[in-house]
């Protein structure tokens, strides 16, 4: 249970880190992701792993750019509703939903539904300094 909580907190921390600072210049949303927490984990089972909590905001009508996450991603929808095409399959999420994404699979498109912003709390855990988002190739 502790490992799941730590991993979840790590992923959220990674999402909050500025994508520009982490990857050079990746913008998957109009509003840059905001890292709200980062913690380097050095426990017997998690050596030199960085945990990041990231607040991701999509504006109404926004369609996110294709991208991938090179490390495991956990997310919780705080508010709003959206569709996300992940590895060729479209998923529908709304406030209160949580989900997990395997590393390195492509987000083809993410689009908001309705007239309210979408806010996600994303959690990443991975090797220290490894980016949490990259452009899709």
pLDDT at 93 over 50: yes
Average pLDDT over residues 83-112: 92
Residue 119 to residues 62, 76, 83, 111: CA-CA distances in angstroms? 12, 9, 13, 12
User: Could you give the number of structural domains in the chain?
Assistant: 1
Q: What is the pLDDT of residues 26-66, one digit of tens each?
A: 566 788 888 887 888 788 878 889 999 999 999 999 998 89
- Here the CATH number for the domain that contains residue 29 is 2.60.120.10
Q: Could you tell me which of 32, 25, 95, 20 has the C-alpha nearest to residue 58?
A: 32
Q: Which domain holds residue 90?
A: 2-135
pTM for the complete prediction? 0.72
* Amino acid 16: pLDDT: 36
* Amino acid 8: pLDDT: 44
* Amino acid 41: pLDDT: 78
């Amino acid at each position: 249970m502790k490992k799941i909580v730590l991993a979840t907190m790590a992923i959220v921390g990674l999402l909050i880190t500025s994508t520009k600072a982490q990857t050079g210049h990746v913008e998957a949303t109009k509003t840059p992701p905001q890292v709200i927490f980062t913690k380097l984990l050095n426990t017997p089972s998690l050596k030199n792993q960085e945990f990041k909590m990231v607040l991701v905001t999509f504006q109404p009508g926004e369609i996110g750019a294709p991208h991938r996450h090179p490390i495991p991603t956990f997310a919780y929808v705080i508010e709003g509703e959206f569709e996300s095409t992940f590895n060729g399959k479209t998923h529908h999420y709304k406030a209160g939903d949580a989900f997990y994404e395997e590393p390195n699979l492509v987000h083809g498109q993410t689009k908001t539904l309705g007239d309210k912003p979408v806010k996600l709390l994303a959690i990443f855990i991975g090797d220290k300094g490894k980016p949490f988002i990259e452009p899709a190739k």
